Amino acid sequence: MRSIDGAIVIALVCVFLAGCGGGIELGKVTGTVTVNGEPVEGATGEFQPVESGSPSYGTTDDHGEYRLMYTADKAGAIPGEHLVRIAAAGVRDPNPNADEAEGEGRQIGEEMVTVEPGSNSFDFEL
């Protein structure tokens, strides 16, 4: 009887540790941001979940490439539908009716995407 009790305790501890240690499963997200076919350096992207949850952010390098971060040390985004907002300084808004005032981090694009578990790639041509 003692060995059965011990096996049950070990099984419960394993289930508890597996359930508590996993956290949120994130989808890895990478891609590029271009304007008129040219890469945009220093553009910032915010992926805001539509349902609920914290947003993820990324900044493009000199090749226009980004990788989303959920936290400072955890890459990815919550799976599901996201409203993506892209902002950059010194880039003209592609919308001809937009106000062309220069500004730090002015929004240059907005789009809906769906992040899946696993690897995702979203390229934004603005």
d(C-alpha 109, C-alpha 95), whole Å: 9
Task: List, for residues 10-59, the tens digit of each pLDDT value.
Answer: 544 444 434 333 578 999 999 999 999 999 999 999 999 999 999 999 99
Query: Cα 24–76–118 angle (5° rounding)?
Result: 80
Task: List, for residues 61-87, the tens digit of each pLDDT value.
Answer: 999 999 999 999 999 999 999 999 999
For each of the domains in the chain, give its residue range(s) and CATH number, in order of start.
Answer: 25-125 (2.60.40.10)
How far apart, in Å, are the Cα atoms of 68 and each of 32, 53, 119? 11, 15, 11
Q: Which residue shows structure tokens 């915010």?
A: 46
Asked whether the beta carbons of 48 and 37 are under 8 A apart, the reply is no
The reported pLDDT for the residue numbered 83 is 98
The reported pLDDT for the residue numbered 93 is 55
- Residue 92: pLDDT band (50, 70, 90) is low
- Residue 118: pLDDT band (50, 70, 90) is very high
